[in-house]
Structure 1
Amino acid sequence: MESNVLEVVNLSKIFKKDAAVDNISFSLRKGEIVGLTGPNGAGKTTTIKCILGLLRKTKGEILVDGFDSTLKKSKYKLAYIPETPDIYPMLTVWEHLKFMSLAYYIKDWESTAEQILKKFDLTDKKNELGKNLSKGMRQKVSICCALIHKPDVFLVDEPLIGLDPKAIRELKDAFKKLRDDGKSLLVSTHMLDSAEEFCDRIIVLKNGKLLAEGTIEELRSKVHGSENSSLEDLFLEVTQDEK
């Protein structure tokens, strides 16, 4: 059986007396996209930031390829794509890739950069300044920059917000290309219709707790939904308040 590339075991994050994340466990396998969904305040972003080490977990264990996530070799296997793409307005697309290559001490990076730009249809934007790119293009540049150091796991926070339909389609295609290359993605999103199209599995959080996890078919079975139940239907069923 293939080992998991990311394991989150009994993770909790407590702010003062409030548990933003409450003893959750899940994993990612190689070459799959997992959607992290839930209402506002469910703990999605906190979970991602704990995995990255941007927040210190209260308790639990996070393993990347079997190694503790705090180790340097684990951090090299992770890539983060935030909701707002953090690129430099006065650097060209090519200069972004050069900057990341220098930051990671990567030699002979140019051919790899050319291949990455070609894969994501950005070759014609090579000399375009960051300030002139649309949000969708900036998201794709963020992915290209992350790919330079060859991570195994991408953590993506609300990537589809503010994108037009064409940009959403292009970004979903980009995620599928990463999956086809054996990369694993944990994608936090509220956009359930889109998540249903490109996610292999879904994790549902509410109030910091993991309520449900599985494929669309498995979730339908858990809530006794029909074969035509959408992810939105299942989400509302799983997250409804107890009477």
Structure 2
Amino acid sequence: MLNVSNLVKRYGKQNAVNNISFQLDGGEVVGLLGPNGAGKSTTMKCIVGLLRKTSGEITIGGYDHLSVEAKKLFSFIPETPYVYDLLTVQEHLQFIAQAYGVKNWKERGGELLEIYDLTDKANKLGRDLSKGMKQKVSICCALLPDPQLLFFDEPMIGLDPKAIKNTKRIFKELKEAGKTILVSTHLIDSVETIADRIMILKDGNILGNDTISNLKEQFVNDENESLEDIFLELTKDV
């Protein structure tokens, strides 16, 4: 579903992303972990086209990542949610439905608003929403077109405990439906129970890319160690 080959993103003489390669298959949830400044958001923004890559190749569903065909296949939820000040919550869903050609969107839209406790906020303008509510609207808009591939950049920040629980449940349902999810975060416990595979990034380099159990065998040699222990071991300053 996603293939990233020799991706480089350079700012001046400094590589923010240093020649990384990986792929994501259908029906898996992959956690992209790393400390602040590791290159997680930069990697994700290069994939979705919000940043211009310096070099490398990226394909989504076999299409170049900047093509219209690729853009039809994915949704992106940024770390900082962006909503339109003068559109209501309901109008955001309508806008996305029209942009993606989603038929009979009102029923699905209503279900999403109910899941995220936004039903009574449906007619509220974007400018009047809290950061947490904006994040919920962003997630609802991303889920509405039923994409094959979803990119979540720090999705749990700003969400209340109920919304976090529902988001994890949605991840599970999407995986069971064969969807592919890449979750970028530094909140390790938010992905430990839902990710099939973990990629650990530091200084623009991938230090580990495997299942949690395999990473334990490779780096800590103790089944009782947590993902946090693996993360700290791989990202420690030598």
TM-score, structure 1 as length reference: 0.87
CA change 1:126–1:181 in 2 (3 A) is: farther
Deviations 1:81-108, CA, capped at 9 Å, x for gaps: 0112222344333221111122334444
2:193 is paired with a residue whose SS is: helix
Which stretch has the larger CA shift, 94-103 or 21-30?
94-103
CA distance in structure 2 between the partners assigned to 1:78 and 1:56 by the alignment: 18
Alignment: residue pair count:
238
Percentage of matched positions with identical amino acids: 54
1:198 is paired with a residue whose SS is: coil
Q: Spell out the pairing of 1:2-17 with structure 2 (5 A cutoff).
A: 5-17=1-13
Task: Please state how far the C-alpha of 1:162 moved relative to its aligned partner.
Answer: 3.4
Q: Which residue of 2 aligns with 1:213?
A: 209
- Asked if 1:113 corresponds to 2:103, the answer is no
**Residue in structure 2 matching 1:183, options 179, 192, 201:** 179
Ranges in structure 2 where 5+ consecutive residues have no aligned partner: none
Q: Which residue of 2 aligns with 1:193?
A: 189
Q: Which residue of 2 aligns with 1:28?
A: 24
- Asked if 1:72 corresponds to 2:80, the answer is no
Task: Please state how far the C-alpha of 1:225 moved relative to its aligned partner.
Answer: 2.9
CA distance in structure 2 between the partners assigned to 1:235 and 1:177 by the alignment: 27
**Residue in structure 2 matching 1:171, options 167, 170, 177:** 167
What amino acid is the match of 1:81? I
Deviations 1:193-219, CA, capped at 9 Å, x for gaps: 222122221100111111001111011
CA change 1:107–1:194 in 2 (3 A) is: closer
Q: Which residue of 1 aligns with 2:157?
A: 161
CA change 1:39–1:105 in 2 (3 A) is: same
Ranges in structure 1 where 5+ consecutive residues have no aligned partner: none
Q: Which residue of 2 aligns with 1:239?
A: 235
What amino acid is the match of 1:208? G
CA RMSD of aligned residues (A): 2.2
Which stretch has the larger CA shift, 117-126 or 57-66?
117-126
Task: Please state how far the C-alpha of 1:13 moved relative to its aligned partner.
Answer: 0.9
